Structure formats: C-alpha cells, structure tokens
Structure 1
Amino acid sequence: MTNKKWLCTLLASVGVFSAAAAEEVTMGRNQGLADQWVAAKLITDIGNKAGVTVKVKPLPAARASEMNLSGEIDGEIARIDAYAAKNPSLVQSKPLYYYLNSTAFGKSDKAVASIADLKKYKVGIIRGVAHAMTVTAGLKVTEVNNPEQLFTMLEEGKIDVAVSSEIDGNYRLKKMKLGDIKVLTTLAKFEQGAIFNPAKKQNAEKLAKATAAMKQSGELDKLTAQYEKEFLNNNIEP
C-alpha cells in the first residue's frame, strides 16, 4: 500500500511538473474572419501535438502584423507566403497547414473572371489582409477595417467588387442577407500557416514537425473539414 501511495504521488508530481513546463505562445489572428476562425482551431490542435499551448488573440489584421514585428505577440496563426516574403525578419513555420480562396464578390452586372479584370472596377479590401493586398497589388483600392463594412459598401454601391476569402464572403452574404451579391470568381488560392517573431523560432520548428505528421496521417484534412462544417452549420461569429 505504501508503495502504491508513493507511486501515485510521484505520477501526480510528474503531471504537475509537465503542465508547469509546457510552452505557451500568444499568437494573433485577423479578427472577424471565418477562415481565421477555422485556422485558430487547427493551430490549437497542432500546438497540442507539438507540446505548445497556443493562445489565440483576435486583432485587426494590420495591428496583428505590427505586434508580431515588434515582439508584443509571439506570432500570427495564418499568413500566406507573400506576407512572409514582405517580412523576412519573421520565421515561417512550414509546411503550411491551411488555405483560402481569394475571391471577388459583386453584383451580377460586374464581369470579373480574373485578377486582370479588377482594374475595371472600384475594388474594396480589408486593411492588412495579405491575400487581398496581393491580388490587388498595383491597383487603387478602398481599404476598410472589417468585413461588415466591406460588404455594406458593396451593397450600397460605394465599391463595385469586394475581395475576401470565399468562406468568409459567403458567410457575410448569408448573415447580412445580401441576395443581390454573388461570387464573381476565385482569383487565387493561397496556402497559409503560422509565422513567428524570431525570438520564437524553436516554436515554429516544433509546430512544423507536428504539422507534417498530421498532414501525413490525414488527420489535418479531417480536422479542416470538421471545423469548416462546424462553423458553417452553427451560426458562429468568427
């Protein structure tokens, strides 16, 4: 009996020590966007596999970038390659674990079949959202602070085309009851993943190993489908 008590005490102590020693990082995500909600769920699971507790902080996209670069947060959960290229001081965790379709939304009288067609119209994007900035590079665009503002301006005719992720744009159409707005075309598909302040390089490497293993096993694909379905079916506010 004494040995059993000693063993239980030892195991409990090890558990407490492990919990206390677990690494923790605070990462920003672009607030209010459906694709970023899904990414937050995925990166939390990836972190758990890697032995890293990921705390996700919703922030305006441009503010998240500023805080990552300054070290006020440890990283951002979902950024594309073009963002990493523009910010070489940051450490990208590869392989990337999620994706988005950068999509043009507008009324049916707007003819957009490719990125080149955007130059014919007044285009709106959300400030600091890298995929939208990438597909509209070189164009004069209207930048807004959040997706509700973007789609309100589209509905009111203040812009002709809104560029957003496919999943978030379709969510807005349903939530805001914008029956006269539709998907015009998919402009580009972007892989996205975590990107860290250089002080957290070791965390980028740990998440990269966990991501690779989850991709290989098929677990990541299953979780992606699960979380996208959960978001779309449960009226979740991203």
Structure 2
Amino acid sequence: MHKLRSFYLSVLLLITPFGYAQQTLVFSGIEGSVNTDISLQVLEEAYQKLGITVEYRPLPGERALRTADTGRVDGEVFRIANVEKRYTNLIPVPTAINVLQGIAFSKVEQIPISGWESLKRYHLGIQIGIKFAERGTEGMQRTLVETNEQLFKMLDAERVEVVIAAHANGLKTLSDIEIDSVHALKPAIQEYQLYHYLHKRHASLVPKLDQVLQQMQQSGRISAIRKQALLKLENGH
C-alpha cells in the first residue's frame, strides 16, 4: 500500500507543471492599492502555470508586512526592493512584477519637484507602512495615517501641504472620495521596481516562480497587464 501511494504521488508531481501539486497560497497585501490589484493579476497568471491557486488578504501596509514576515500567510503580494533586510523571513523573487511611480500631490500646482530633497520645506503626509514614502521622507516634517483616504482628506483640509503616494493609488483615491482640488505634481519623485516576496518556508519555490515571471516579462505579458489595468482606471471603469 505504501509503495502504491508513493507511485500515485510521483505521477501527480510529474503531470503538474514544474512538479507542484495543486495547492493554494495566501498572500497579504496593501488594502485599497491599485498596484496590489495589478500585481495580483500578474501573480495569479504566473502561479497558475505552476498549478497553484492564489488568495489575497488585504491589510493596512505595515500589518501586511508583519503578517507575511511572521508566516501567518505565505508571503506578500509586492514590495519595493530590500524589504527583506528588515523583514528577514521574506525572500524576494528576483523578477519585478510591477512598477511604482512615487508622486507628490498638493492643492498647489506650482511646487517644483526635483527628488526628495525638494520636499524638505513642506509639511508632508504619508501612509503608514508604505516603505518608499517612509524612507524618502525620513527626517522631514510629516504626519502618518493609516489609509490613502485619510491622507487625501487631510490634504484637502490643509492639515498638510503635500502628500506622497503611488501615482495610480492616488488617482483612484481622489476619484473615489470625489476631491478635485488636489493635483498630481510632475515629474515623479522616484520610480521603483516592485517585487513579490515569499516566506522563507517556500524558498524552493522562488527559482521556479522566477522562471515563469522571466518568461512573462520577456514576452511583454507583465507590461500588458499593467497597461490594461491603468487604461481601465483612466477611463473610470
């Protein structure tokens, strides 16, 4: 009987792509984030090629990272590079799955933007757990809140002068809460590649998933998913 079970298991592993039996992985991610939605589309397609189903658990930014790092879920949908230096139980998959434009938003259109240093003179607002904004504004006068909605309402009420957010997320939030007095300032403060992170218990999966993501990147599929999602956002769908 034991030999028969081993035989069937071997057959299952052989017929499943990359040797992975059907399973489900759960990933935490930043709630209400357009970049999470885009990244999830990429991951769902990539993991499907490995015979793996993806589930998503939306959480506030910092809590999403802690939940992934402590192993309560299987990883984090996306983060910028080098998050693993602080959250040491997470392993980045090397191929980027998305890109983030860090943008300053303000009620004043004439603020000149030339990198983070150009924002030092302003009272800034950022969302807790959004690492590119936390790092970029370190040492500056800033107010931290839990959600993008709180962030932009605070700006609209002129409790801060400038808020920092991912471009796509900021535009969606402004549309959702119907604020039209706030402007996205150009150019972007900085652009970041975004990476998927797996908990270290799934270390053996990293090279297999990366192989799939490399193929999707080279074929233009990752870029196409992002462009299609942003087009829907711009058209209000």
TM-score, normalised to structure 1, is: 0.85
Give, in whole Å, the separation in 2 of the partners of 1:55 and 1:215. Answer: 22
1:76 aligned residue: 76
CA deviation after TM superposition for structure 1 residue 128, in Å: 0.4
CA deviation after TM superposition for structure 1 residue 89, in Å: 3.3
Residue type of the alignment partner of 1:77:
V
Give, in whole Å, the separation in 2 of the partners of 1:85 and 1:198. Answer: 13
Question: Is the counterpart of residue 187 in structure 1 residue 189 in structure 2?
Answer: yes
Alpha-carbon contact 1:127-1:145 (below 8 Å) kept: yes
Give, in whole Å, the separation in 1 of the partners of 2:144 and 2:107. Answer: 19
CA deviation after TM superposition for structure 1 residue 109, in Å: 5.7
Alpha-carbon contact 1:110-1:160 (below 8 Å) kept: no
1:214 aligned residue: 216
Once the two structures are superposed, residues 38-88 of structure 1 have per-residue CA deviations (whole angstroms, 9 ceiling, x without a partner) of: 111221111112332221111111111111111101100110104233334
2:45 aligned residue: 45
Residue type of the alignment partner of 1:145:
E
2:202 aligned residue: 200
Higher deviation after alignment, 77-86 or 108-117 = 108-117
Q: Are residues 162 and 110 of structure 1, via their aligned partners in 2, closer, same or farther at CA, if it must alter by over 3 Å? A: farther
Higher deviation after alignment, 221-230 or 97-106 = 221-230
Alpha-carbon contact 1:90-1:197 (below 8 Å) kept: yes
Structure 1 gap segments, 5+ residues each: 1-12
Structure 2 gap segments, 5+ residues each: 1-10
Give, in whole Å, the separation in 2 of the partners of 1:156 and 1:82. Answer: 35
Give, in whole Å, the separation in 1 of the partners of 2:119 and 2:130. Answer: 17
Alpha-carbon contact 2:104-2:184 (below 8 Å) kept: yes
2:172 aligned counterpart, secondary structure: helix
Identity of aligned residues (%): 23
1:149 aligned residue: 150
CA deviation after TM superposition for structure 1 residue 163, in Å: 0.4
CA deviation after TM superposition for structure 1 residue 172, in Å: 2.1
Question: Is the counterpart of residue 106 in structure 1 residue 106 in structure 2?
Answer: yes
Residue type of the alignment partner of 1:74:
D
Give, in whole Å, the separation in 2 of the partners of 1:201 and 1:135. Answer: 30
1:76 aligned counterpart, secondary structure: strand
Give, in whole Å, the separation in 1 of the partners of 2:80 and 2:155. Answer: 25
1:65 aligned residue: 65
TM-score, normalised to structure 2, is: 0.85
Give, in whole Å, the separation in 2 of the partners of 1:150 and 1:229. Answer: 24
Picking from 228, 232, 235, the partner of 1:233 is 235
Residue type of the alignment partner of 1:75:
G
CA-atom RMSD in angstroms? 2.2
